[in-house]
């Protein structure tokens, strides 16, 4: 019986992870759940799964959660420090890191220090702190298993292979809702249009990132740290059907591809059960229904966020933290209707162009770079 702490349990990854647990009650037990804002859903989940503790990120909801869960004997923690405290607890085996954005870094670090294995969906943890996190993973002898469908695919393709046998890795991208849209029409894209992903059902932040291809750029950085592959050996291919989730090409010219219908429950289950595979009733790939698979190069002129992510990875140090913070700010402004879709990469470029990237990577320098990026953008005016 593996005990799980699901950080970000009310988001799309968390909800799917709980569904996996629900269908494998003999294998998994929930020890901890966390949410930022959705207190009602957190309480409902806690009453069903009876964890030892929950953490609500926004302190305004703490009284409501305590009142609802007090009679069930479930401890209630609160805020960023509550997340850290929950991550340090010794009564679970694996953290499912599904918190959205930069906030997922610190509880993940604490869980690793506490000797917990990590099933990681929060790509920003490796984007902003990849060097630190991977060193801690080695130091504490824990497993870091990706949940993202693309990185799970790469992970599965590499099982049993030598690192020296890998020529390149290829991350696939659906291309989002604007794959065929003319560049001159991008100025008029609305948040509602950008939130309509053609293949996946995800939270608003990651859906906008998919529309700009920033999500794929963040995944390039994540893949670098997960698999130790240099930026020039990480490529992106547009694959509208989202059936091949990623590919690995080997030095002998052969390629492995992991295939499956767009369903996050499969990579989540694989991460939770690895190295075992568990039978389930999820939909499987049927070549009779998908008898055509298309691929194309990404258009970096129409989707400049992808190039910005590669630039940040090559720059290293704290530049990825600046990229990530600026993207979070820009996406929030776009969703609020304050800026245009085409302003997102402009805002990110401004922050990167003005950042002094001389600090070595540390928790302190990451925090400082994130704060600097958000502060400089609070007064930035678009032309």
Q: Please enumerate in sequence order all residues whose Cβ is within 8 A of that of 273, keeping only pairs 6 or more positions apart, or say none.
A: 24, 27
Domain boundaries, the chain: 2-146, 151-314, 316-383
CB 370 within 8 A of CB 324: yes
Per-residue pLDDT, averaged over 33-58, amounts to 98
Sheet holding 2-7, edge to edge: 75-78, 53-56, 28-35, 2-7, 94-97, 117-120, 144-146
- By mean pLDDT, which of 25-29, 79-83, 203-207, 256-260 is the weakest? 203-207
CATH class of 316-383: mainly alpha
What digits encode the pLDDT tens for the residues 208-252? 999 999 999 999 999 999 999 999 999 999 999 999 999 999 999
Percent of the chain with pLDDT over 90: 90
pLDDT at 49: 98
State how far Cα 312 lies from the chain centre: 17
Name the pTM for this structure.
0.93
Burial of 123 (0-12, 13-18, 19+ CB in 10 A): buried
pLDDT interval class at 306 (50, 70, 90) = very high
Between the CA of residue 321 and those of 113, 213, 313, 326, 345, what are the distances in Å?
A: 22, 17, 10, 8, 15
CATH fold for the domain made of 2-146: Rossmann fold (3.40.50)
Indicate whether 200 pLDDT > 80.
no
Exposure on the CB side of residue 151, measured as CA atoms within 13 A? 28
What digits encode the pLDDT tens for the residues 124-178? 899 999 999 999 999 999 999 999 999 999 999 999 999 999 999 999 999 999 9
Q: For residue 356, what are its two tokens?
A: 């002094």
Between the CA of residue 40 and those of 65, 279, 301, what are the distances in Å?
A: 8, 32, 43
pLDDT interval class at 82 (50, 70, 90) = very high
């Amino acid at each position: 019986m593996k005990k799980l702490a699901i950080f970000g349990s009310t988001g799309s990854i968390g909800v799917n992870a709980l569904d996996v647990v629900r269908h494998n009650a003999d294998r998994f037990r929930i020890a901890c759940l966390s949410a930022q804002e959705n207190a009602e859903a957190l309480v409902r989940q806690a009453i069903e799964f009876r964890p030892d503790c929950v953490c609500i990120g926004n302190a305004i909801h703490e009284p409501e959660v305590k009142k609802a869960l007090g009679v069930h004997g479930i401890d209630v923690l609160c805020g960023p420090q509550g997340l850290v405290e929950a991550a340090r607890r010794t009564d679970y085996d694996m953290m499912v890191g599904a918190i959205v954005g930069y906030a997922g870094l610190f509880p993940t670090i604490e869980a690793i220090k506490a000797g917990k294995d990590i099933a990681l969906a929060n790509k920003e943890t490796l984007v902003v702190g990849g060097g630190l996190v991977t060193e801690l993973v080695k130091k504490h002898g824990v497993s870091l298993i990706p949940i993202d469908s693309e990185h799970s695919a790469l992970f599965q393709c590499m099982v049993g292979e030598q690192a020296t046998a890998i020529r390149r890795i290829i991350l696939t991208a659906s291309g989002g809702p604007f794959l065929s849209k003319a560049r001159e029409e991008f100025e008029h894209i609305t948040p509602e249009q950008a939130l309509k992903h053609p293949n996946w059902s995800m939270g608003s932040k990651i859906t906008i990132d998919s529309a700009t291809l920033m999500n794929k750029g963040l995944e390039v950085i994540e893949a670098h740290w997960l698999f130790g592959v240099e930026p020039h050996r990480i490529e992106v291919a547009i694959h509208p059907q989202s059936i091949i989730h990623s590919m690995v090409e080997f030095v002998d010219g052969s390629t492995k591809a992991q295939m499956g219908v767009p369903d996050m429950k499969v990579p989540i289950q694989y991460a939770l059960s690895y190295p075992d595979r568990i039978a389930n009733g999820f939909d499987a790939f049927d070549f009779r229904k998908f008898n055509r698979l298309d691929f194309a190069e990404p258009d970096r002129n129409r989707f400049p966020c992808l190039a910005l992510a590669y630039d940040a990875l090559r720059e290293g140090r704290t530049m990825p933290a600046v990229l990530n913070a600026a993207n979070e700010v820009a996406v929030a402004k776009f969703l609020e209707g304050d800026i245009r879709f085409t302003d997102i990469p402009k805002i990110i470029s401004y922050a990167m162009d003005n950042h002094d990237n001389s600090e070595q990577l540390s928790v302190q320098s990451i925090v400082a770079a994130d704060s600097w990026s958000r502060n400089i953008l609070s007064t930035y005016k678009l032309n």
